[in-house]
Amino acid sequence: MDPSVNTRTPATVRWGIIGVGNVTEVKSGPGFQQADASELVAVMRRDGAKAADYARRHGVPRSYDDAEALIHDDEVDAVYIATPPDSHRDYAIAVLEAGKPVYVEKPMGRTTVECEQMNAAAQRAGLPLFVAYYRRAMPRFVTVKDLLDGGAIGTVQAVAIRNQQPAPIAEGGEMPWRVRPEISGGGHFVDLASHTLDLLDHLLGPIARVSGYAANRSGAYPAEDLVSAAFEFSSGVGGTGLWCYAAGEYRDEVEVIGDAGSLTFSTFAQEPLRLLRGDVEERIEAPYPATVQQPLIQAVVDDLTGVGTSPSTGTSAIRTARIVDTLLASYRAEHGLTFV
C-alpha cells in the first residue's frame, strides 16, 4: 500500500456508494446516515442523472457517474459497493488499492475464486473487507442466537431449511439479473440461500461437509431453480436444505432441532419466532428494523473507528461462497456456466 495514503482511524467514517440502485433506497443507503460516527458524502451510478437524483432525495453532498472519481475522492474514507455481483471483485480491488476499506453487497462474488481474489487484495493492502450479510447483526437473529446459545432448545442436533417461491416473470422480455448466471453467479439460490447459509454459519458455526444436487425444472432461465443439500457443521450438527424457485407457493422456514425442543423462524419474513418445548409453543415477536442493514452498518463503522467488531467479513463470507460453489459445481459444469 502507498505509504502516502491516509490510514488514520477516523472519528467519523465518510462513506461513498458505488451503485445506488433499488437496494440502497431503503435497505442500506439510509443506514450510513443513521449510524453513529457515520456520514454518506458521495454516491455513484453510471447514469449520472439518476445518481444526482438519488443524492438530492437523500441529502448527499456529491454524486458521480464514474466509479474511479468516487473512489479517489479525498473526502471519502470507505466505500460501499452495491452493484450486481459480476462487478464486486473489480470494484473492491480498486477501492482497496486506493487505500480505503470496502463494504461489499452479498453475495460477496459470483464464485469462491472471485472472493479469494478480493480477500487477497485486502490482505495486501492491510485493510478490512466487510460483506453485507446483514442478518448476522439484525435484532431478530440476535434473538435467535441468544435463544440457541442460552440452551432454549437444549443441545442443537439438526437443522432443516425450506425455501420456495414461484418462477420469476421476465421484465420487458428480459429476466431479472438475479437469475442470469453471468451477472449473479446463478439464480435465486445464490441470491437467497446464501443469506440463510451465512446466517447458520453465524448461529451454529462453519459447515464442514456438504453434498447436494442442483437442477432447472421450470426452463424459464439458464440458472438452477431447484437445489437440495445435506450438510454437517464442524460441531457435528446435521442439516438438510431444499430450495425450489419454480413452486406454486411461497415458503420460508428454518427449523433448528434440539434435544429439548425446536426453534422455527423465517429468514426473509417477519412473523414471530416459534419456540416449541414439549407441548408448549411460545411465539416471540422479532420484527425487522426500518433500515435492515443499519445494525450491521453500525458494527462496520464501530470496527473502522476502533470501538467494536463486525460479525461479517470477507473471511466469514468466503465460507458461504464455498458451500454455494460446491452445491452448484456439477450444474455449472454440465451447462457450461463459467465466469472470467
Count of domains observed in the chain = 2
CATH, residue 231: 3.30.360.10
Alpha-carbon distance values, 207 to 105, 147, 197, 238, 239 (Å): 22, 20, 9, 9, 9
Q: Please state, in angstroms and rounded to a whole number, the distance separating the CA atoms of residues 265 and 141.
A: 9
Tell me, what DSSP letter sits at residue 272? P
Q: Please state, in angstroms and rounded to a whole number, the distance separating the CA atoms of residues 330 and 199.
A: 25
Q: Which pLDDT belongs to residue 1?
A: 37
Mark whether 41 and 75 lie in a shared domain.
yes
- pLDDT for 71 beyond 90: yes
Q: Please state, in angstroms and rounded to a whole number, the distance separating the CA atoms of residues 117 and 129.
A: 12
Residue 8 included in any domain: no
Mark whether 153 and 269 lie in a shared domain.
yes
Q: Please state, in angstroms and rounded to a whole number, the distance separating the CA atoms of residues 295 and 269.
A: 17
Mark whether 98 and 46 lie in a shared domain.
yes
- pLDDT for 337 beyond 70: yes
- pLDDT for 340 beyond 90: no
> Which residue shows C-alpha cell 434473538?
143
Q: Which pLDDT belongs to residue 80?
A: 98
Band of pLDDT at residue 234, cut at 50, 70 and 90: very high
Q: Which pLDDT belongs to residue 169?
A: 77
- Region of residue 171 (left: phi > 0; alpha: psi -120 to 50; beta: else): beta
Concatenate the DSSP letters of all residues of 90-104 into one string.
HHHHHHHHTT--EEE
pLDDT, tens only, 176-232 = 999 999 999 999 999 999 999 999 999 999 999 999 999 999 999 999 999 999 999
Q: Which pLDDT belongs to residue 174?
A: 83
- pLDDT for 150 beyond 60: yes
Mark whether 114 and 245 lie in a shared domain.
no
59: cell is 441529502
- Quick check: 110 and 339 in contact, CB under 8 A? yes
Mark whether 83 and 195 lie in a shared domain.
no
- Quick check: 91 and 28 in contact, CB under 8 A? no
Mark whether 54 and 131 lie in a shared domain.
yes
Q: Which residues pair with 231 in a beta bridge?
A: 210, 239
Domain that includes residue 108, residue range = 13-135+295-309
Proportion of the chain in helix, strand, coil states, percent, rounded to 5: 35, 25, 40
* Cβ partners under 8 Å of residue 21, min gap 6: 45, 82, 83
Mark whether 153 and 124 lie in a shared domain.
no
| Mean pLDDT, all residues of the chain | 95
Residue 7 included in any domain: no
Question: Roughly how many angstroms between the first and final C-alpha of the chain, as a whole number?
Answer: 26
pLDDT, tens only, 255-291 = 999 999 999 999 999 999 999 999 999 999 999 999 9
